[in-house]
Amino acid sequence: MEGRIAIVTGSSSGIGRVIANDMARRRARVVLMSNVPGDLQDALAEVRLLAPESIAIEADVTKSDDLSRVVDQVMDVFGKVDILVNNAGITRDNLLMRMKDDEWDSVLSVNLTSIFKLTRLILKPMMKARYGRIVNIASVVGATGNAGQANYAASKAGLMGFTKSLAAEVASRNITANCVAPGFIRTAMTDKLNPKASEAILSRIPMGAMGTPEDVAHAVCFLAADSSRYITGETLHVNGGMYMG
Ligand code: NAD
């Protein structure tokens, strides 16, 4: 990834932070982005050990002005964007009968609408350069559904449909668009699960273990590589065999 400029949203923690590090290790210059300034600076310090020219931009993906500011700043500093990883995502779980409008709206806004808006902005320089790699982080539940996650599953299933349509529109310009759909990944969120809940999850995974953020980052870097030029509109599942698409 030498010479490549990669934007990774939601890279202050969890999976996004590991993706940013993995890309930096492969010599991309990384633009980290998140709405949590303290963590973002910590993540930038880490990434700069591997890719010193990387930058961090505090931005809320649900704010259109923030998204325009990010793209303007990246173009000012680097003059191009080669790779976009739409990773920022949230959950607001509830059974459908109890789900509040705000729980639905906020999940759709962060996990789907923001990706439409940021991708639309990024396409302009990518189309001009006739090069781009877009990787969207979906989820296994976008394919399977999950009780208590109608909002989240809808956003991730929507993301897969969005990605296929996008892929068809931009393929002739040497731009690919794919999804990576993680299963259960060990992060701060899953570390908090009680032993019974963990056991229930593990019983559904043929490999008998949760994945790591590194497992997801590996799949993202594969799809974002120059050499993945002929793979587009796909969803790569990273789930230890829990769901075989
Ligand atoms: P996380 O909570 O550790 O990280 C989410 C990141 O998104 C953070 O950096 C946060 O600051 C950022 N973010 C959230 N809202 C934002 C906003 N409005 N503006 C800017 N940034 C915002 O979560 P994670 O587990 O690392 O999840 C990363 C992605 O992976 C998400 O899209 C999630 O849906 C997906 N995913 C995670 C798992 C899992 O098991 N952890 C499984 C499947 C899919």
- Of the residues 109, 186, 187, which should be mutated to test ligand 1's pocket, given the most ligand atoms within 8 Å of the CB? 187
Asked if residue 15 has its Cβ within 6 Å of ligand 1, the reply is yes
Among residues 131, 152, 230, 243, the one annotated as catalytic is 152
pLDDT at 37 over 90: yes
Looking at residue 12, what is its pLDDT?
97
Res. 3 pLDDT band, cuts 50 70 90: very high
Instruction: From 202, 28, 8, 206, select the one nearest 88 (Cα to Cα).
Output: 8
CA distance 4 to 26: 10
Contact between 29 and 78 under an 8 Å Cβ cutoff? The reply is: yes
Query: Which atom of ligand 1 is closest in space to residue 141's alpha carbon?
Result: 43
Say which range, 81-90, 97-106, 109-118, 182-191, has the weakest mean pLDDT. 182-191
pTM above 0.95, yes or no: yes
Distance 10 CA to ligand 1 centre (A): 6
CB 238 within 8 A of CB 181: yes
Pocket test for ligand 1, best of 12, 31, 90 (most atoms within 8 A of CB): 90
Give exposure, 111-146, as e/b (b: 16+ Cβ within 10 Å).
bbbbbebbbebbbebbbeeebbbbbbbbbbbbbeee
Distances (CA, A) of 33 to 74, 117, 187, 211: 11, 15, 19, 24
| C-beta 240 within 6 A of ligand 1 | no
* 243 annotated active-site: no
